[in-house]
Amino acid sequence: MKAPLSLTARVSLLFAAAAAGVLLAAGALFEHAAEDHFLDDDREELVGKTELIRRLLANATTPAAVAELPTLIAGTTFGHPGMAIAVASANGAVLYSTGPRAVVGHLLASGELGQAQPAIWSHSGHVYRIAASRMPLGIPASLPVTVAIALDITGDRAFMNEFRQFLWFGMALSILIMAMLGWAAAQRGLLPLHRLSSRVAAVSAQHLDKPLPEANLPDELRELVLAFNRMLARLEDSFRRLSEFSADLAHELRTPIQNLLMQTQVTLNRERDAAEYRDNLQANLEELERLSRMTADMLFLAKADNRLLALRCEPLDLQREGEQLLTFYEAYASDRGVALTQTGAATLSGDRLMIQRALANLLSNAIRFTPRGGTVALDLSESEEALTVRVTNPGPEIPPERLPRIFERLYRIDPSRREGNAEHAGLGLAIAKSIVEMHGGTIRAESSAGRTRFSVLLPR
Amino acid sequence: MRGGRRIDLTSKEFALLELLLRRQGEVLPRSLIASQVWDMNFDSDTNVVDVAVRRLRAKIDDEFEVKLIQTVRGMGYVLRAEGQ
């Protein structure tokens, strides 16, 4: 693919094109006006001469006056070098002529008479404009004669050519200069953009918290900078979460690994019998199992983040799935003095394993935070376009400022509980959220009036 | 019936016992038990299975000398007949 033109090139080219357009139009107009002017001049002169000769002919009322005509007509060409006049009778006989012979010959031969537009004729380096007309003689009952006049316009032509050359050369030069000026102007006009890009280039992971200055910017760039700063803020947030998460992860892994180390060291301290070794290996196995589960969960989340998990969707009856889950948790819940109820029905096309896992995580979370004697309620409902799953449990309220964070990985509402509870690494809600989002749904939590409710909204 | 005494089990408790019996002598991991008895096919991180086994054990083992269901730490559960 070809790289797009630089902005500077684009602006200066457009500018040059616009300037060229305007200049060319103006030049064409000038040229046309000058040509018109010369044409008008010539025509006026030809008409003037024709009228003059018409009057002379009309005044020649006697044969004596007719005899004087050549002198009178010759007088009219005075001061007009290169003008030729020919007067011929109706039968073609030359009555009178003046001017270069070749021109007179053409005038008589051409016989173009009474044309509206003066004709142009070139001959041996000279250009002539010719007008001819028919007019009567002053003598009564005489036949009309033809009068043709040729005006030498070679000088005008030469001037026009020179003018044209000058005009187009000047025009080309102007366009070139305009293009160069346009380029310089574009360079200068785009300076804020260059400054901005060097500032953006200076942004690094360590300086995500320093937004670009938004003051003193041209309007066009302000929007860009505002958008960039918003993106920077989002990036910084993700970056902060990520580094918090890796810190949490390290912490989370450190405890079981230290336990393993300690147990193994103590065991190896002295000779023991087989039963003791087995005991120790079994304890290690339990710890390793927790670690393995946690890393598997982390991997699941990472894959979900990178869209590496394929959903195997099938029609699901959530009422049946819910009943199954409740049966599964029944013993566990009643052990903790917690009752489970289910209401409503809903169907969905989804990945059975994943949906089961998400709901199980929500239920197990709810059961754990329900005080003895409480009831965890699973409620299903559906409409035309979406279905809702609600898991509600009584229990301590989650402070509103912590609510949005409970879906974060390894997040614990009460940080002091981090160490003691190795069984729940704090990934369950993150996995539930990730699964719901894979199915195109949303999950949210609300906590008020002594109960907490998780609502899952899934499109159908 | 065990030792001439009648024991009432819920359907899931029965399914659990049946699984342990069917594969007696074999150590069954918790995830396998969850999958076979409750059709829960994900790796659940709660000790739900432990609670269920404990309840079953309370019914069939607590009052008898010979314990049938044994815990293999870190691995799972196994049913061994006649306390081998």
Two tokens at A414? 């009460």
Q: Which residue has the tokens 């001959």?
A: A123
DSSP 3-state assignment of A397?
coil
State how far residue A356 is from chain B, nearest Cα, in angstroms. Answer: 8
Q: CB under 8 Å to A177, separation ≥6 — which residues?
A: none
In angstroms, the CA A90 to CA A233 distance is 100
Span A241-249, average pLDDT:
82
Predicted confidence at residue A433, as pLDDT, reads 92
B35 vs chain A: nearest CA distance in angstroms? 10
**Cβ-based contacts of B47 with chain A (< 8 Å):** 332, 423
Residues of A in contact with B12 (CB under 8 A): 327, 330-331
Q: What is the pLDDT of residue A160?
A: 87
Q: What is the dihedral of CA A263, A265, A271, A275, to 10 degrees?
A: 20
CA A205 to chain centre: 28
pLDDT tens digits for range A73-111? 877 777 777 788 888 777 767 777 777 777 777 776 665
What confidence score (pLDDT) does residue B82 get? Answer: 56
> What percentage of residues in chain A have a pLDDT greater than 90?
15
Calculate mean pLDDT across residues B15-42.
Answer: 87
In chain A, what residues touch B55 (CB-CB under 8 Å)?
A: 331, 335
For residue B53, list chain A residues with Cβ-Cβ distance below 8 A.
none
- Considering only residues A199 and A430, tell me which one the structure prediction assigns the higher pLDDT: A430
**A121-172: per-residue pLDDT in tens?**
777 778 888 887 778 877 776 777 878 888 888 888 888 889 889 988 998 8
Chain A partners of B40 at a C-beta cutoff of 8 Å?
324-325, 328, 356, 360
> Do A144 and A134 form a contact (C-beta atoms < 8 A)?
yes
In Å, how far is A10's CA from the nearest CA of chain B? 60
A364 touches chain B (CB under 8 A): yes
> In which element (H, E) is residue A233 found?
helix A219-268
Rg of chain A taking only CA atoms, in angstroms: 52
Q: Do B48 and A282 touch (CB under 8 A)?
A: no
Inspect the interface and report whether the beta carbons of B38 and A327 lie closer than 8 Å.
yes
pLDDT digits (tens, 9 = 90+) for A419-458: 444 456 678 889 999 999 989 999 989 888 888 999 999 9
Mean pLDDT, chain A, integer: 83
Q: Check: CB of residue A359 under 8 Å from CB of residue A325.
A: yes
Tell whether A300 is within 8 A of chain B (Cβ). no
- % of chain A exceeding 70 in pLDDT: 93
pLDDT higher than threshold 60 for residue A241? yes
pLDDT given for residue A381 in this prediction: 92
Q: Which of B42, B56, B57, B59 to mutate to test the interface with A (most CBs of A within 10 A)?
A: B42
Instruction: Please say if the pLDDT value at position A5 is more than 60.
Output: yes
Give the integer Cα–Cα distance in Å for A269 and A292.
27
Residue B72 has pLDDT above 90, yes or no: no
| Higher local confidence (pLDDT), A154 or A342 | A342
pLDDT in the model for residue A436: 92
Q: How many CB pairs under 8 A join A and B?
A: 63
pLDDT value of position A375: 92
Average pLDDT of the residues in A345-370? 90
Q: Which residues contact A273 (CB under 8 A, 6 or more apart)?
A: none
- Quote the CA–CA distance of B44 and B67 in Å, as a whole number: 27
Instruction: Give the model's confidence band at A319: pLDDT under 50 very low, under 70 low, under 90 confident, else very high.
Output: very high
Contacts of B45 in chain A (CB under 8 A): 293, 297, 364, 423-425, 428
pLDDT of residue A422: 47
Q: Identify the pLDDT of residue A112.
A: 52
Cβ distance B46 to A364 less than 8 Å, yes or no, reads yes
Does the distance separating the beta carbons of B34 and A293 come in below 8 Å?
no
Pull the structure tokens for residue A201: 């280039």
Residues of B with CB under 8 A from a CB of A: 12, 34, 38-48, 51-52, 55, 72-75
Half-sphere exposure of residue A349, counting CA atoms within 13 Å on the CB side? 6
Instruction: State whether B74 and A364 contact (CB < 8 Å).
Output: no
pLDDT at A251 over 90: no
**Contact across the interface for A332 and B46, Cβ inside 8 Å:** yes
Greater confidence (A89 vs A356) lies with A356
